[in-house]
Amino acid sequence: MEVELEFRAMGSHAQVVVVGGRPGLAEDARRRVDQLEARWSRFLPASEVSALNRRAGEPVPVSADTRLLVTRAVEGWRLSGGAFDPTVLGPVIRAGYDRTFDEVVARPAPGRSTLDLGAAGIVVDGPTVCIPPGTGFDPGGIGKGLAADLVCDELMAAGAEGACVNLGGDVRVAGTGADGEAWTVSVEHEWAEEPVAVLGLAAGAVATSTTLRRRWVIAGDGARHHLIDPQTGLPSGTDVTSATVVAGAAWAAEVLAKAVLLRGSATAFDILGGTGAEGLVVDAGGRTAATPGFAAYLGVARPRASVR
């Protein structure tokens, strides 16, 4: 038996597919996603992330989920050589992404913030987290990726035979699909009518980072997008329009996809060496390139999830 739910969560389209297990697992997964969003959204004043930002410079007691989020975010900062920075909130706000994305698109305007970067100063100590004074924590895509990882693992631990969790294009799969085969994930691109790749994945994760979505235009100041380059503090000017990474966990795939995109097409895949991850990019001319190992994932079955 297969159960599929589609809903909105974390500002994105969400999809949960559960194969086998007891009735109600898919609904449990949806509630768990809602719980994580309530803890991690920077747009909810009562969230634990909002508390960290209000009390920057102080140790703040938070849940085990949030401690894990911050720990993975620091790991991602190190793994990506700083291309992913969880303290990029100030530049994100200054680019105009200071409200939910729907509100930004409806009324685009420059934002104001004096917050700086400071991932090196984040401290996780026992039940508390402290971010450096003068910084702000933005879970961004890694929050979706880690949520997909947690929910997928919890579904399998609860007795599911297979699970697919897709949160805004951060996809984590485990076990088998209803047909007993590997999960199939399509990689889509804003400029293409057909998927640029269709992947078969028995277990693991896929994530795509792109400059072509979450865009807005500020009158007199031009187009902006949400992918900030920590080196400049500005929306990235990379010639890569989308980067897709296959990895063991969705949080890592998300971090590495952003790092690949920011590096540009000439050196896109250098960051993947030694990580075990594989990648695919589409550049500004519509050309695709991939790591040698990416071909091992190419499949032809009907996709159950998509990343774009």
pLDDT of residue 258: 95
Q: How far is CA 7 from the centre of its chain?
A: 17
The per-residue pLDDT of the chain, averaged, comes to 90
Cα–Cα distance between 269 and 289 in angstroms, integer? 10
Residue 301 CA: distances (Å) to CA of 1, 93, 154, 189, 197: 19, 41, 26, 19, 11
Tell whether the torsion through CA atoms of 34, 38, 44 and 50 is positive or negative. Answer: negative
Q: Which helix (H) or strand (E) holds 264?
A: none
pLDDT band, very low/low/confident/very high, at 308 (cuts 50, 70, 90):
low
Residue type present at position 153: D
Does residue 55 sit in helix, strand or coil? coil
**What DSSP line would sit under 125-139, residue for residue?**
ETTEEEPPTTB----
Would the pTM of this model clear 0.75, i.e. be above it?
yes
Give residue 280's pLDDT band: very low, low, confident or very high (50, 70, 90): very high
Query: Over the stretch 56-98, which tens digit does the pLDDT of each residue have?
Result: 999 999 999 999 999 999 999 999 999 999 999 998 898 877 7
Q: Does the pLDDT at position 238 exceed 90?
A: no
The distance from CA 175 to its chain's CA centroid, rounded to whole angstroms, is 22
Which residues lie across from 228 on neighbouring strands? 235
Distance from C-alpha of 280 to C-alpha of 168, rounded to nearest angstrom: 18
Measured on CA atoms in the order 145, 149, 151, 155, is the torsion positive or negative?
positive
Residue recorded with tokens 């380059």: 229
Most distant CA pair in the chain: distance in Å?
56
What is residue 210's predicted lDDT score, i.e. its pLDDT?
Answer: 86
Query: Class for domain 2-307, per CATH?
Result: alpha beta
pLDDT of 222 strictly over 60: no
Question: ∠ at Cα 156 (150, 162), nearest 5°?
Answer: 115
Segment holding 152, helix H or strand E: helix 140-157
List the one residue out of 59, 78, 60 whose CA is nearest residue 119: 78
Tens digits of residue pLDDT in 142-182 = 999 999 999 999 999 999 999 999 999 999 999 988 777 88
